Amino acid sequence: MNVFTRRSFLKSTAASAVVLGGAAVYWPRSGFAQPTGGMTNLLKIPALETGHAEGGVRVYDLTMQNGVTEFFEGYQTPTSGINGSYLGPTLKVRDGAAIRINVSNTLEEPSTLHWHGMHLPARMDGGPHQVVSPNETWASEFTIKQKAASLWYHPHLMGKTAEHVWRGMAGMFIVEDAESDALPLPNNYGIDDIPLVLQDRIFTRDGRMDYGLSMHSRMMGMVGNVPFANGTYAPYFEATTTKLRLRILNGSNASTYNLALDNGANFMQVATDGGFLEAPVEMNLLQLAPAERAEIIVDLVAAEKVMLLNMAIGGGSSGGMMSGENNNAPAFPFLEIRAAAKITQSADLPSHLTTMEWLNEADAVKTRVFNLEMQMGMGAMMGGGNSHSINGKVMDMARIDEVVNLGDTEIWELRNVSMMPHPFHMHDVQFQILDRDGQPPAPNEHGRKDVVMVNPDEVVRIIMRFEDYADANAPFMYHCHILEHEDAGMMGQFVVV
Ligand SMILES: [Cu+2]
């Protein structure tokens, strides 16, 4: 299934190439900026933050702050980040640990930080109800009760999530446990175990990346034309081992990425959103919707160069909004991996990674149906805030949409009745995908998930169990993870009682 080569990739994208450098830095809305000068910037690796001990608690200090970032030489771009000017540190925690995250806000506006994928009490979730005002600190305290996984964190302020993430606030949140300790997977952070936050952004001529919604981006989501990995433009990574573990996060606002290696080589996916798959899944094309994660293992030989590409699938995103097309980004390189002339032999990949506890459809006491809707009329487009809904309802923080009983196993039936795909995300629990239009999910989706792409006219059934954290007064969110859709109302609230 090696349907592409580096040569054909370069040829096919040459037409949309935009020269970087010179007096003006400007990228038209319609085409991705190709790094015509090659991949010239060393990949930034977010700082690893393992916290410090206070009594029996691991404490992490995070500060949301404004700053400037030099993505392109000579251009100071105003951005926001956590403990820095763009993105944030990678938090690492262990299953069973009691933790406290102190979130300080030095922005000149309220925001929140949400622990995406984490199983925890709703009051500690950092969602729209846990607003951190300027110059205040919010302490999120909980005990990690979760399998090893690559989670992440990002703002979740009502109506402002998309803009705050766009400006740069996001980071990885790695959970380790006894199982991940025992597996012979690359785990040397920054050396052979690499967080990879993939994003795209749009820049103005003078190097700003203002968040401004057009009618088009209000409907389709904000799709950029400059790709970043860990906030690095045109990045390369120098590998020193024969196996590289990439913990990939689609950290974009709205783009779906279709990832492949330019030599057509296969790679192994070992984990999905909520942790390890039962066995590695061999693949050569990985689709990641906004907010989805995948851990993959890439095999390298000495001195080779391999490009991690985004492949153009299904036409890209720059066409007409009414065509019902997907948000697949066009073709461009994300990261060049350069293997050293002498590289260290990594351990063989284990054939078994974890044992799943599969939830049984027969144990479900309830099926809830969620219709994902977009009003495509002219009025909805012009009207702004309320063109996206679930079950006919636009998000209202004062309304509880669903009440779940503690201990129950439920099936949620996600129906996309709109013309574009929606990545559905729920807080509190990791779910399992039962089927897509009655068909079993792909092997790499057969695990713990917290985001699932629901394609137009598709019905996806997911199953989950609500084991902990009943609180009638503190809701969890479920929503589309195209952030512009979430902000425009495609979100609801459930409580566990
Ligand atoms: Cu959506």
Digit-coded pLDDT (tens) for 136-169: 999 999 999 999 999 999 999 999 999 999 999 9
Distance between Cα 276 and ligand 1 center (Å): 27
The CA–CA distances, whole Å, from 231 to 126, 168, 226, 391 equal 23, 8, 11, 37
Distance between Cα 457 and ligand 1 center (Å): 13
Q: Which two tokens stand for residue 67?
A: 């700053």
Distance between Cα 482 and ligand 1 center (Å): 5
Distance between Cα 130 and ligand 1 center (Å): 23
Distance between Cα 422 and ligand 1 center (Å): 4
User: Is residue 165 domain-shared with residue 250, that is, in the same domain?
Assistant: no
User: Is residue 157 domain-shared with residue 227, that is, in the same domain?
Assistant: no
pTM of the model: 0.91
Structure confidence at residue 238 (pLDDT) = 98
User: What span, in angstroms and rounded, lies between the C-alpha atoms of 435 and 437?
Assistant: 6
- HSE at residue 463, side-chain half, CA atoms within 13 A, is 20
Q: Is 457 left (phi over 0), alpha (psi -120 to 50) or beta?
A: left
Between β-strands 235-241 and 41-42, what pairing exists: parallel, antiparallel or unpaired? Answer: parallel
- Which of 473, 358, 475, 465 lies closest to 406 in space, CA to CA? 465
Of the three residues 142, 162, 177, the one that is the final residue of a domain is 177
User: Is residue 172 domain-shared with residue 276, that is, in the same domain?
Assistant: no
Amino acid at 276: F
Distance between Cα 426 and ligand 1 center (Å): 13
Collapsing DSSP to helix, strand or coil, 138 comes out as strand
Structure confidence at residue 33 (pLDDT) = 63
Of the three residues 344, 377, 405, the one that is the final residue of a domain is 344
User: Is residue 166 domain-shared with residue 222, that is, in the same domain?
Assistant: no
Distance between Cα 201 and ligand 1 center (Å): 19
Distance between Cα 78 and ligand 1 center (Å): 28
Band of the pLDDT at 319, cuts 50, 70, 90?
A: very low
Collapsing DSSP to helix, strand or coil, 426 comes out as strand
Tens digit of each residue's pLDDT (9 = 90 or more) over 421-471: 999 999 999 999 999 999 999 999 999 999 999 999 999 999 999 999 999
Distance between Cα 63 and ligand 1 center (Å): 29
User: What span, in angstroms and rounded, lies between the C-alpha atoms of 254 and 250?
Assistant: 9
User: Is residue 405 domain-shared with residue 452, that is, in the same domain?
Assistant: yes
Residue 32 lies in a domain: no
User: Is residue 366 domain-shared with residue 491, that is, in the same domain?
Assistant: yes
**Helices and strands in the chain: count of H runs, count of E runs:** 6, 32
Distance between Cα 373 and ligand 1 center (Å): 8
Residue 355 lies in a domain: no
Residue 327 lies in a domain: yes
The count of domains in the chain is 3
If you average pLDDT over residues 38-42, what whole number do you get? 92
Structure confidence at residue 308 (pLDDT) = 96
User: Is residue 190 domain-shared with residue 327, that is, in the same domain?
Assistant: yes
Residue 445 lies in a domain: yes
Edge-to-edge strand ranges of the sheet holding 409-416: 388-390, 366-374, 409-416, 459-465, 432-436
Structure confidence at residue 24 (pLDDT) = 28
Distance between Cα 374 and ligand 1 center (Å): 8
User: Is residue 331 domain-shared with residue 406, that is, in the same domain?
Assistant: no
Amino acid at 93: V
Distance between Cα 440 and ligand 1 center (Å): 23
Distance between Cα 280 and ligand 1 center (Å): 30
Band of the pLDDT at 8, cuts 50, 70, 90?
A: very low
Distance between Cα 468 and ligand 1 center (Å): 28
Tens digit of each residue's pLDDT (9 = 90 or more) over 353-398: 999 999 999 999 999 999 999 976 555 555 544 579 999 999 999 9
Contacts of residue 119, defined as CB under 8 A and 6 or more positions apart, other chains included, come to 145, 146, 428, 429, 430, 468, 469
User: Is residue 365 domain-shared with residue 418, that is, in the same domain?
Assistant: yes
Of the three residues 160, 177, 194, the one that is the final residue of a domain is 177
User: Is residue 96 domain-shared with residue 194, that is, in the same domain?
Assistant: no
Residue 194 lies in a domain: yes
Distance between Cα 111 and ligand 1 center (Å): 22
If you average pLDDT over residues 248-263, what whole number do you get? 96
Please say whether the beta carbons of 201 and 174 come within 8 A: no
- For a pLDDT cut of 70, what percent of the chain falls above it? 87
User: Is residue 288 domain-shared with residue 200, that is, in the same domain?
Assistant: yes
pLDDT tops 50 at residue 4: no
Structure confidence at residue 314 (pLDDT) = 60
Residue 36 lies in a domain: no
Range of the domain at 147: 48-177
Residue 79 lies in a domain: yes
User: Is residue 334 domain-shared with residue 284, that is, in the same domain?
Assistant: yes
Please say whether the beta carbons of 460 and 436 come within 8 A: yes
Distance between Cα 480 and ligand 1 center (Å): 5
CATH code for the domain in which residue 434 is found: 2.60.40.420
Distance between Cα 176 and ligand 1 center (Å): 31
Distance between Cα 231 and ligand 1 center (Å): 24
User: What span, in angstroms and rounded, lies between the C-alpha atoms of 151 and 493?
Assistant: 21
Residue 29 lies in a domain: no
Distance between Cα 448 and ligand 1 center (Å): 21
Distance between Cα 251 and ligand 1 center (Å): 15
